[in-house]
Amino acid sequence: MKRKNSPILVIDSGVGGLSILYELAIKNPKNDYIYFADYNAAPFGQKSATYIRKRLIENIRLLDKKYHPQGVVIACNTATAVGVSVVRRVFCDKFIVGTEPAIMPAIRAGKKNILVLATPNTIKHSKILSIAAEDTSSNITFLSLPNLASLIEDNIDDLALLRSIIRAYIAPYIHKTDAVVLGCTHYIYIRPILKSLFTSDVSIYDGNAGVAQQTIKKATRGGEGRIDVITNMPSKGVNLVCAWDILLNKGV
């Protein structure tokens, strides 16, 4: 049952969705938030669609019993692509907001050569990417990165170690791109590296502002501004602390 001033549940498989939680906390600081990192199922980007859907439903049911959230933010592009429709059917008493690659803002901005960085499942299942692929006004390239989210997760305390790996991924596109779309919330943390590798006129887009905007529209206002971050793998708590520190102090 939705209660007045109930918290908003934000869910992902690791540190990626914290960037959405941060956006929400900045734009709507008086609401209460529960962030759940499902490390036991990480990374979502490498799991089957069936597994991700089952996992989302199980986790939300468990957390609903304890926290009674008014709504759920699926802070993962892959989980949204494969599971948001099912979650909306099962939890029809709550608002459900998904996360999608911000490719349409890049197209609307008139960008002609757009590079979308995403997991294989997001590229395969995302409706917004399927629609964008039919756009004839832009040249859209989808770069599938199966392991990058895991690398970011494992090196969140020193992301500079990934610079050479990231450069190798994007080398063929550096001088052929005028916009980069980050199709995974984990990729937010490597924005500074991407900025340093592309020329200064290349725009980098992510979907976080849109997710926050949609959530704020749907949410019942009010609360104490409380943020609880929980995980089913306590040993990964240091990752979450490190990522939050990046968001608070260094920015992305």
Residues noted as catalytic: 76, 184
- The CA distance from 125 to 245, in Å, is 32
Q: Which two tokens stand for residue 245?
A: 């520190």
Residue 13's CB: how many other CB atoms inside 10 A? 30
The counts of H helices and E strands in the chain are: 11, 9
Whole-angstrom CA distances from 88 to 29, 103, 106, 144 are: 25, 23, 28, 27
Q: Which two tokens stand for residue 92?
A: 């029809």
- The CA distance from 56 to 37, in Å, is 11
SS3 115: strand
